[in-house]
């Protein structure tokens, strides 16, 4: 250990390579007669142990000296900038100014204090690319002012009430930059009624939903080429079916016109084949498109990136408010649907309206199984009847024997009741 007054106090020797021109003897003491090195000194540094930002390296080079006098050395110092990570910023606070609703200064904090320039944008659509954002920065848009070492500030007029998206572009002295999209930002002082009030005028009315160039439907069908914070219910910076379905839940306690406008909008989203509203033929079309790749925006109803049975489930349940086996889409599974199944029993090339519930074109035990699983769906309890009783009511001639056998096979019909049906068949024939 060197004493504090030593010129090497606090310094370490080079470890990676230490090859002075004046070599060292067997006692590891500098010796003018020892073999010479090449004069190179190298030291690997573990910069992961250093924080982001500026650090200082100082090197002291000592001249060989044989008379025991004071050390002769020269000093070389260099500033280094450790830049392992992208510069990360966060929203520090909103500070209302003036009296306008939603007029706020936004303070942005450079988390590691390495930022030397910050730009910020409000509610950019998700489809705006990083390179487009960098071009906007190049054009001088979104510039903030540095208020303190780690605080950058700018102001926005009329920030809407909703799940706003703030896109922060942070630069550090090395020129490194970072683009962050912060979603679900709700300043305390905001403009409008919030979710669903897309024009931020304080009320959720049908014009906020459809038939306008700013309503929910316009934003939804822009496929994220436009954005509105009052439409982003799940606060992910996107406006898609997840928000559409959340909107429908949200409006259930709103006016009947708002509810019916929303219902119409949800139904329109299920119009897979683009014809005649949303009906059984859209279920057929979606079944045929299972596994589709490429542009699947229309078919990927549950927005999970693939087209599969889950999208049909979404169409039948979330969009049509129905269940598998409701072949006439009256939101009830009852004797009418059983009659449709019975009259198509054993047929092929059938669609949903003709009792093919699972999309394989066949009307068979699988479809009967689905119908019986959801039997009584949407039917008030006092009006419910058992599936066998419905079959009986239909008259056995209307229920082909294989259907009845299918029902028996599933254990739905008791033996005595089956006997009655056979008797009925005999009477009729």
Concatenate the DSSP letters of all residues of 277-306 into one string.
SSSHHHHHHHHHTTT--S--TTT-TT-SSS
- Nearest CA-CA partner of 320 in 378, 255, 258, 381: 378
Rounded least distance, CB 121 to Ca ion, Å: 18
Indicate the residue among 151 and 247 with the shorter CB distance to Ca ion.
247
Phi/psi for 140 (5° steps) reads 85, 10
- Nearest CA-CA partner of 188 in 304, 101, 114, 123: 101
Rounded least distance, CB 236 to Ca ion, Å: 4
Rounded least distance, CB 357 to Ca ion, Å: 6
Indicate the residue among 313 and 417 with the shorter CB distance to Ca ion.
313
Indicate the residue among 167 and 170 with the shorter CB distance to Ca ion.
167
Rounded least distance, CB 163 to Ca ion, Å: 8
Rounded least distance, CB 209 to Ca ion, Å: 16
Q: Which two tokens stand for residue 360?
A: 């394989």
Concatenate the DSSP letters of all residues of 307-364 into one string.
-SHHHHHIIIIIIT---TT-TT-SS--SHHHHHHHHHHTT-SS--GGGT--SSSS--S
The residue range among 34-42, 142-150, 330-338, 369-377 that interacts with Ca ion, by the rule CB under 5 A, is 330-338
Rounded least distance, CB 316 to Ca ion, Å: 12
Contact status, residue 398 vs residue 338, Cβ threshold 8 Å:
no
- Nearest CA-CA partner of 85 in 54, 48, 115, 52: 52
Tally Cβ neighbours within 10 Å of residue 195.
20
Task: For the chain, report the end-to-end CA distance as a whole number of angstroms.
Answer: 113
Burial of 394 (0-12, 13-18, 19+ CB in 10 A): middle
| 269 is a site residue for Ca ion (CB under 5 A) | no
Q: Which residues partner with 53 through β-bridges?
A: 82
Indicate the residue among 279 and 367 with the shorter CB distance to Ca ion.
367
| Binding-site string for Ca ion from residue 287 to residue 316, where x marks contact by CB under 5 A and - marks none | -------------x-x-x------x-----
- Binding test (CB under 5 A) with Ca ion, winner from 109, 119, 153, 332: 332
Indicate the residue among 91 and 362 with the shorter CB distance to Ca ion.
362
| 326 is a site residue for Ca ion (CB under 5 A) | yes
Return d(Cα 224, Cα 126) in angstroms, integer: 6
| 127 is a site residue for Ca ion (CB under 5 A) | no
- Binding test (CB under 5 A) with Ca ion, winner from 58, 148, 275, 330: 330
| Binding-site string for Ca ion from residue 227 to residue 256, where x marks contact by CB under 5 A and - marks none | -----x-x-x-x----x-------------
Indicate the residue among 92 and 356 with the shorter CB distance to Ca ion.
356
Return d(Cα 358, Cα 324) in angstroms, integer: 8
Rounded least distance, CB 189 to Ca ion, Å: 23
Indicate the residue among 47 and 405 with the shorter CB distance to Ca ion.
405
Q: Which two tokens stand for residue 11?
A: 């310094």
Tally Cβ neighbours within 10 Å of residue 167.
21
Indicate the residue among 101 and 362 with the shorter CB distance to Ca ion.
362
Rounded least distance, CB 359 to Ca ion, Å: 7
| Binding-site string for Ca ion from residue 353 to residue 372, where x marks contact by CB under 5 A and - marks none | ---x-x-x-x----x-----
Contact status, residue 206 vs residue 257, Cβ threshold 8 Å:
yes
Indicate the residue among 58 and 304 with the shorter CB distance to Ca ion.
304
Indicate the residue among 197 and 367 with the shorter CB distance to Ca ion.
367
Rounded least distance, CB 79 to Ca ion, Å: 45
Those residues whose C-beta lies under 8 Å from the C-beta of residue 73, and which sit 6 or more positions away, are 7, 60, 61, 62, 63
| 224 is a site residue for Ca ion (CB under 5 A) | no
Return residues touching Ca ion (CB under 5 A): 232, 234, 236, 238, 243, 300, 302, 304, 311, 326, 328, 330, 332, 337, 356, 358, 360, 362, 367
């Amino acid at each position: 250990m060197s004493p504090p007054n030593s010129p090497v106090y606090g310094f370490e020797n080079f470890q990676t390579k230490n090859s002075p021109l004046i070599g060292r003897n067997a006692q590891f003491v500098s010796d003018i007669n020892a073999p010479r090195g090449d004069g190179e000194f190298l030291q690997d540094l573990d910069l992961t142990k250093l924080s982001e930002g500026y650090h200082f390296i100082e090197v002291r080079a000592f001249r060989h000296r044989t008379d025991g006098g004071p050390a002769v050395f020269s000093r070389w110092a260099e500033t280094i900038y450790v830049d392992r990570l992208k510069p990360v910023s966060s929203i520090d606070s909103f500070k209302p100014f003036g009296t306008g609703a939603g007029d706020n200064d936004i303070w942005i904090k450079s988390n590691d204090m390495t930022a030397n320039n910050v730009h910020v944008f409000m509610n950019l659509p998700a489809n705006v690319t990083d390179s487009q954002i960098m071009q906007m920065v190049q054009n001088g848009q979104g510039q903030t002012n540095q208020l303190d070492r780690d605080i950058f500030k700018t102001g926005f007029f009329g920030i809407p009430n909703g799940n706003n998206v703030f896109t922060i572009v942070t630069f550090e002295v090395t020129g490194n930059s970072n683009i962050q999209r912060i979603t679900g930002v709700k300043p305390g002082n905001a403009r409008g009624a919030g979710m669903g009030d897309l024009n931020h005028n304080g009320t959720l009315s049908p014009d906020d939903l459809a038939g306008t160039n700013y309503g929910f439907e316009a934003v939804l069908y822009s496929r994220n080429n436009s954005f509105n914070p009052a439409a982003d219910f799940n606060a992910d910076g996107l406006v898609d079916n997840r928000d559409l379905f959340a909107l429908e839940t949200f409006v259930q306690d709103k006016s009947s016109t708002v509810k019916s406008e929303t219902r119409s909008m949800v139904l329109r989203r299920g119009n897979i084949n683009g014809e005649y509203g949303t009906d059984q033929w859209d279920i057929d079309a979606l079944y045929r498109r299972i596994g589709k790749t490429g542009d699947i925006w229309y078919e990927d109803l549950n927005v999970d990136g693939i087209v599969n049975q889950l999208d049909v489930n979404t169409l039948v349940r979330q969009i049509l408010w129905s269940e598998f086996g409701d072949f006439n889409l009256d939101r009830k599974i009852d004797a009418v649907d059983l009659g449709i199944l019975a009259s198509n029993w054993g047929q092929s090339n059938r669609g949903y309206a003709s009792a093919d519930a699972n999309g394989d074109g066949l009307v068979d035990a699988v479809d009967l199984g689905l119908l019986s699983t959801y039997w009584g769906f949407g039917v008030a309890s006092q009006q419910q009847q058992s599936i066998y009783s419905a079959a009986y009511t239909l008259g056995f001639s209307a229920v082909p024997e294989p259907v009845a056998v299918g029902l028996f096979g599933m254990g739905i019909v008791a033996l005595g009741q089956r006997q009655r049906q056979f008797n009925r068949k005999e009477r009729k024939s």
